[in-house]
């Protein structure tokens, strides 16, 4: 495949939390002409997410936490039900999600399976997200979870009936894209 774009200039607009860049580039159109375009791209790093499931009990582990962007965009409480996730922070995706699973849910997992990877908002965010699934048992619970205090996380751990969790997509109780994708994958592949 031929590269259709050539970066001309990159400006950092903000590096307060993560990095927001304005990128000017030349783009080769289908008709063979070159057009100069400018877009902003937000770089927060890559991440990983996981669905913990218990096949025998037909349950899944999800989390609930406050998400400011959802609050300012009409989510009255700001609370979202989500699959466990986190940024790679220079780890590989598997090590990252094992760490995040233990921090957020309190479950220590060793066996997991990568199922796919996806760009979640490629029009403006550079992040690629690595998706995993893993079975859990009560014996794997090493603490209560809830996240790390230094990161100001205040995460509630939820153990939900799988069919109820899938139904929560339809009722609008679950609106997080990565979580919907994982629950649908589990349903399509009869994991639970």
Over 70: is that where the pLDDT of 152 sits? no
* Both structure tokens of 91: 């780890």
User: In the predicted model, what is the mean pLDDT of the chain?
Assistant: 93
Contact 101, 84 (CB under 8 A): yes
pLDDT, mean of residues 3-9: 89
Over 90: is that where the pLDDT of 148 sits? no
Is 34 in the same domain as 53?
no
The whole domain housing 38 covers 5-43
Return d(Cα 165, Cα 60) in angstroms, integer: 8
Give 24's pLDDT tier (boundaries 50, 70, 90). very high
pLDDT, mean of residues 102-126: 95
Give 144's pLDDT tier (boundaries 50, 70, 90). confident
pLDDT, mean of residues 97-120: 96
The CATH number given to whatever domain includes residue 121 is: 3.90.79.10
Instruction: Please report the pLDDT score of residue 92 as a whole number.
Output: 94
Is 119 in the same domain as 162?
yes
Tally of domains within the chain: 2
Is 153 in the same domain as 74?
yes
Contact 186, 60 (CB under 8 A): yes
Instruction: Please report the pLDDT score of residue 150 as a whole number.
Output: 65
Is 74 in the same domain as 18?
no
Is 116 in the same domain as 89?
yes
Contact 49, 83 (CB under 8 A): yes
Give 151's pLDDT tier (boundaries 50, 70, 90). low
């Amino acid at each position: 495949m031929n590269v259709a774009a050539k970066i001309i200039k990159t400006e950092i607009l903000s590096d307060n939390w993560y990095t927001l860049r304005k990128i000017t580039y030349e783009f080769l159109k289908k008709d063979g002409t070159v057009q100069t375009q400018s877009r902003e791209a937000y770089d927060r790093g890559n991440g990983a997410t996981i669905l913990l499931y218990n096949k025998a009990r037909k349950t899944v582990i999800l989390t609930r936490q406050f998400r400011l962007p959802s609050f300012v965009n009409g989510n009255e409480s700001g609370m979202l039900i989500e699959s466990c996730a986190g940024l790679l922070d220079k780890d590989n995706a598997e090590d990252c999600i094992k760490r995040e699973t233990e921090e957020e849910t309190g479950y220590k997992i060793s066996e997991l399976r990568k199922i796919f990877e996806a760009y979640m908002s490629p029009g403006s965010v550079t992040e690629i997200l690595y998706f995993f699934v893993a079975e859990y048992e009560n014996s794997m619970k090493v603490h209560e979870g809830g996240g790390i205090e230094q990161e100001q996380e205040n995460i509630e751990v939820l153990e939900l009936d799988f069919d109820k969790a899938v139904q929560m997509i339809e009722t609008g109780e679950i609106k997080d894209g990565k979580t919907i994708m994982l629950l649908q994958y589990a349903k399509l592949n009869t994991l639970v």
